[in-house]
Amino acid sequence: MSPVVDERPDPARTHLSHADPVLAHLIDKHPDFDPRAWLADLPPLDAFTTLIFQVIGQQLSVAATRHILDRLQDRFNGHLPTPAELLAVDPDELRKTGLSRRKISTLRTVAAQFADGTLSDRELRGLSDAEIETRLTAIPGIGPWTVHGFLIIAFARPDVVLPGDLALRKAIQRSYRLDHLPSQDEVVRLAEPWRPYRSLASAYLFQDAFGPAAPSTGTTADTGI
């Protein structure tokens, strides 16, 4: 008996192919692309540990981010810390993983809010993207780039673009053959036709420019403040 093949069109890829000829080319070029496959190289991430990953990654390459993440796991016996575990460790001990004092302060604030119930995975999942951004950027050290990555990684939100990500801007310059690095405003305008699938569109641009290792490569523009 022949295997059953699902030939139903993918509405997200169909929309992007019709909306943007550059994306149509990338979708045809990478027919088996899985935008979340890169997560298999990371430890399991919930809302709290995704914020750890994102805060670590501010202003760092993906390689440097993963190096610090590995050291943090080693410090906690092979796993990323829970909020209570992170708060129980002296900040000077966390400095040995390569984290800056500013990032440690941010992570301790995040951990405290998860520990006392001010933040929770369940509550955040019930909020809109804009509400989550408002909630999280109220924490010193967390800016829009951190939140946008969080939305994609933790909750697989489909309509997120990262205009502050230098790597995405470079990918757009490359794929659209621009003679300049696009500004954040240009990225937002270019991405408008991609709605409501801007996350997938961005993933294709990262894939084509940098390969399957990660959705972002290079220094981010998010200062976290």
* Same fold: 11-32+159-209 with 39-155: no
pLDDT value, residue 211: 78
pLDDT value, residue 61: 85
Give the C-alpha separation, 90 to 101, whole Å: 12
Residues 6 or more apart from 1 whose CB is under 8 A from it? Answer: none
What is the block-wise mean pLDDT of the chain (225 residues), using blocks of 10 residues? 51 97 97 93 95 96 92 97 98 97 98 98 97 98 97 97 94 97 98 98 94 56 47
Q: Is the dihedral of CA 189, 191, 193, 196 positive or negative?
A: negative
DSSP string, 112-181: HHHHTTSS-HHHHHTS-HHHHHHHHHTSTT--HHHHHHHHHHHH--SS---TTBHHHHHHHHHHTT-SSP
Which H or E element spans position 25?
helix 21-29
pLDDT value, residue 9: 63
How far separated are the first and last CA of the chain, in Å rounded? 59
Burial class of residue 138 in the structure, from the number of CB atoms within 10 Å of its CB (0-12 exposed, 13-18 middle, 19+ buried): exposed
Residues 6 or more apart from 189 whose CB is under 8 A from it? Answer: none
pTM: 0.90
Parse the chain into domains and list their residue ranges.
Answer: 11-32+159-209, 39-155
Q: Are 224 and 142 in contact (CB under 8 A)?
A: yes
- The domain made up of 39-155 has a fold known as Endonuclease III; domain 1 (1.10.340)
Which H or E element spans position 209?
helix 198-210
pLDDT value, residue 97: 97
Residues 6 or more apart from 35 whose CB is under 8 A from it? Answer: 199, 200, 203, 204, 207, 215
Architecture label for domain 11-32+159-209: Orthogonal Bundle (1.10)
Q: What is the CA radius of gyration of the chain?
A: 18
Least Cα distance to 81 among 43, 122, 118, 116 occurs for 43
- Give the max Cα distance, the chain: 63
181, 185, 189, 191: CA torsion to nearest 10 = 70
Q: Kindly list the distances between the CA atom of residue 147 and the CA atoms of 36, 47, 72, 81, 139, in Å, as whole numbers in the listed order.
A: 17, 11, 21, 20, 11
